[in-house]
Structure 1
Amino acid sequence: MFKKIMVPVDLAHKAILQPSLDLAADLAKLYQADTCYISVTATTPGSVARTPEEYARKLEAFAEEQGHAHGQEVSSRVVTSPDPIADMDDAIIQAIHDTGADLVVMATHLPHRIDAVMPSNGDKVAAHTDISVFLVRHRD
């Protein structure tokens, strides 16, 4: 059913990713699908890496760890942006097209009142693509 699963990750928040990482790996195994981990990072130094190139190396290492842990072939892709928070949704949507993904599995946050004004990334990705988007709720 699925051939390419894209998993958006934020290396600064690995703690909340595990449920979505496990689900993506299970689905990839079930459907013998490829998995691509994608991340959007700033063009300026950040908390995870000083350069986009360093961030790309860290994401590649992260993807390889996931691949080894789940016994799967994986890939990674970094998108750079001067403002990753503002560009996140559009970057993910563009990456869907660039990678040929037919499923996105992404972690989400617990709902807050501000979501009525600023919807989550998953809402926009699901509304502006024609592929399936599986949002995995983080539980405290």
Structure 2
Amino acid sequence: MFNKIMVPIDLAHRDRMGAAMTVAADLSKLYGVQVCYVGATTPTPSSLAHTPQEYGAKLDEFAKQEGAAHGHDVTSHTIISHDPTADLDHDLVKAVDEVGADLVVMATHVPNIGDRIWPSNGGRLATHTKASVFLVRADATKE
């Protein structure tokens, strides 16, 4: 059914993405497909990495840890953006094609008033790519 799963990752908030990681790993094993973890960084130093190459190495290590923990095939893809906050939607749409994903699994939040003004990243992907988009709430695994 699916050929490749893309999972956008915010390495600064990976502790809040457990439910989406679990869903992506389960779907990867179910369909026998690879998961590509995608993260965005700036060309300038940040709190996560001094260079885009250092960020890419951290993202790759994260992907390998997820693959080892859940037993699925993984890759990583680094987006270098001058303003990830402003350009993230566009960059994620572009990344879907770059990595060849036909399913995007991503963490989301409980909707709030701001979502009536600014569209969600998941909504943008659903309307601007051919990929299916699976949004997973952070508390989806809680009882």
* TM-score interval, smaller chain: over 0.9
Whole-angstrom CA distance in 1 between matches of 2:33 and 2:101: 10
Structure 1 stretches of 4+ with a deviation exceeding 6 A read none
With normalisation by structure 1, the TM-score equals 0.96
CA displacement, residues 9-42 of structure 1 (integer Å, 9 cap, x when unaligned):
0000011111000000000000001110001111
Partner of 1:42: 42
Answer yes or no: is 1:105 the counterpart of 2:105: yes
Shift of 1:106: 0.3
Question: Contact 2:18–2:138 (CA<8 Å) still a contact in 1?
Answer: no
Runs of 5+ unmatched residues, structure 2: none
Shift of 1:8: 0.4
Identical aligned residues as a percent: 51
Partner of 1:63: 63
Answer yes or no: is 1:94 the counterpart of 2:94: yes
Give 3-state SS (helix, strand or coil) of 2:37's partner.
Answer: strand
Q: Which amino acid aligns with 2:92?
A: I
Which stretch has the larger CA shift, 121-130 or 26-35?
A: 121-130
Question: Contact 2:33–2:73 (CA<8 Å) still a contact in 1?
Answer: no
Answer yes or no: is 1:126 the counterpart of 2:126: yes
Give 3-state SS (helix, strand or coil) of 1:79's partner.
Answer: strand
Partner of 2:17: 17
Runs of 5+ unmatched residues, structure 1: none
Answer yes or no: is 1:54 the counterpart of 2:79: no
Give 3-state SS (helix, strand or coil) of 2:92's partner.
Answer: helix
Which stretch has the larger CA shift, 118-127 or 20-29?
A: 118-127
Whole-angstrom CA distance in 2 between matches of 1:24 and 1:132: 13
Which stretch has the larger CA shift, 43-52 or 62-71?
A: 43-52
Give 3-state SS (helix, strand or coil) of 2:72's partner.
Answer: coil
Whole-angstrom CA distance in 1 between matches of 2:117 and 2:101: 29
CA displacement, residues 94-119 of structure 1 (integer Å, 9 cap, x when unaligned):
11111110100000122121111111
**Aligned pairs, how many?**
140
Q: Which amino acid aligns with 2:42?
A: A
With normalisation by structure 2, the TM-score equals 0.94
